[in-house]
Amino acid sequence: MRPVGSKYLLEEPLGRGATGTVWRARQRETAGAEAAVAGHPGETVAIKVLKEELASDPDVVMRFLRERSVLLRLTHPNIVRTRDLVVEGELLALVMDLIDGPDLDRHLRRNGPFSAVGAALLTARIADALAASHADGIVHRDLKPANVLLAGSEDDPAGLWPMLTDFGIARLADSPGLTRTHEFVGTPAYVAPESAEGRPQTSAVDVYGAGIMLYELVTGRPPFGGGTALEVLQRHLNEEPQRPGNVPLPLWTVIERCLRKNPDERPGAEDLARALRTVAAGIGAHATPAQAEAAMGVGALLGPDAPATPASGDAQGPAGASDPTRVLPTTGGPGGDGPSHDPNAATSVLPHAAGPGQGGQDGRGDTGAFDPTRAMPPVPSGAPEGQGGSGGGPSPEEPHPWQTQLRAARDRNEQTQVQPLDPELDPLRRRPRRSPAPPPPQQYGQPEPPGQYRQPEPPRQEPRQPRQAYAPEPLRTPEPQPRRQEPPRPPEPRQPRQRRGANPMRIPGLGCLKGCLFMVLIAVAISVLVWNFTPLPEWWDQGRQFWEDTKNWIGDVWAWLEDLVGAGQEAADKVEDVQNDVQDVRDGIDDVRENLPDAPAGNG
Q: Find the part of the chain contacting ligand ATP (CB under 6 A) among 9-17, 130-138, 213-221, 239-247.
A: 9-17
The three-class DSSP label of residue 24 is: strand
Q: Is residue 178 part of the contact set for ligand ATP (CB under 6 A)?
A: no
- Smallest distance from the beta carbon of 453 to ligand ATP, in angstroms? 26
What are the φ and ψ backbone dihedral angles of 374, each rounded to 5 degrees? -60, 130
Residue number, 96 or 119, with CB nearest to ligand ATP: 96
Per the CB < 8 A criterion, the answer to whether 280 and 289 are in contact is no
Residue number, 24 or 274, with CB nearest to ligand ATP: 24
Per the CB < 8 A criterion, the answer to whether 459 and 437 are in contact is yes
Q: Is residue 201 part of the contact set for ligand ATP (CB under 6 A)?
A: no
Active-site entry in 128, 142, 166, 366: 142
Q: Is residue 121 part of the contact set for ligand ATP (CB under 6 A)?
A: no
Integer Cα distance of 254 and 276 in angstroms: 7
Query: What distance, in Å, lies between the first and last C-alpha atoms of the chain?
Result: 126
Q: Would you call 142 a catalytic residue per the annotation?
A: yes
Q: Find the part of the chain contacting ligand ATP (CB under 6 A) among 11-19, 49-57, 441-449, 523-531.
A: 11-19
Q: Is residue 103 part of the contact set for ligand ATP (CB under 6 A)?
A: yes
> How many of the other CB atoms lie within 10 Å of CB of 372?
15
Q: Is residue 25 part of the contact set for ligand ATP (CB under 6 A)?
A: no
312 conformational bin, left if phi > 0, alpha if psi -120 to 50, beta if neither: left
**What sign for the dihedral angle of Cα 318, 74, 8, 145?**
negative
- Smallest distance from the beta carbon of 9 to ligand ATP, in angstroms? 16
Identity of the amino acid at 475: L
Per the CB < 8 A criterion, the answer to whether 405 and 47 are in contact is no
Residue number, 79 or 254, with CB nearest to ligand ATP: 79
β-bridge mates for residue 77, sequence order: none
Q: Find the part of the chain contacting ligand ATP (CB under 6 A) among 139-147, 221-229, 438-446, 593-601.
A: 139-147
Cα 322 to the chain's mean position, in Å? 37
Q: Which residues between 44 and 83 bind ligand ATP (CB under 6 A)?
A: 46, 48, 80
Neighbour-count burial of 536, counting CB atoms closer than 10 A to its CB (0-12 exposed, 13-18 middle, 19+ buried) = exposed
Q: H/E/C letters for each residue in 63-87?
A: HHHHHHHHHHHCCCCCECCEEEEEE
Per the CB < 8 A criterion, the answer to whether 104 and 162 are in contact is yes
| Choice from 4, 5, 8, 22 touching ligand ATP (CB under 6 A) | 22
- Smallest distance from the beta carbon of 454 to ligand ATP, in angstroms? 24
Which residue has the closest beta carbon to ligand ATP? 17
Integer Cα distance of 248 and 486 in angstroms: 9
Q: Which residues between 397 and 456 bind ligand ATP (CB under 6 A)?
A: 416, 419, 428
- Smallest distance from the beta carbon of 16 to ligand ATP, in angstroms? 6
Show the site string, 296-335: x = touches ligand ATP by CB under 6 A, - = not.
----------------------------------------
- Smallest distance from the beta carbon of 229 to ligand ATP, in angstroms? 13
Site of interaction with ligand ATP (CB under 6 A): 14-20, 22, 46, 48, 80, 96-99, 103, 142, 146-147, 149, 165-166, 346-347, 416, 419, 428
**Which residues are annotated as catalytic?**
142
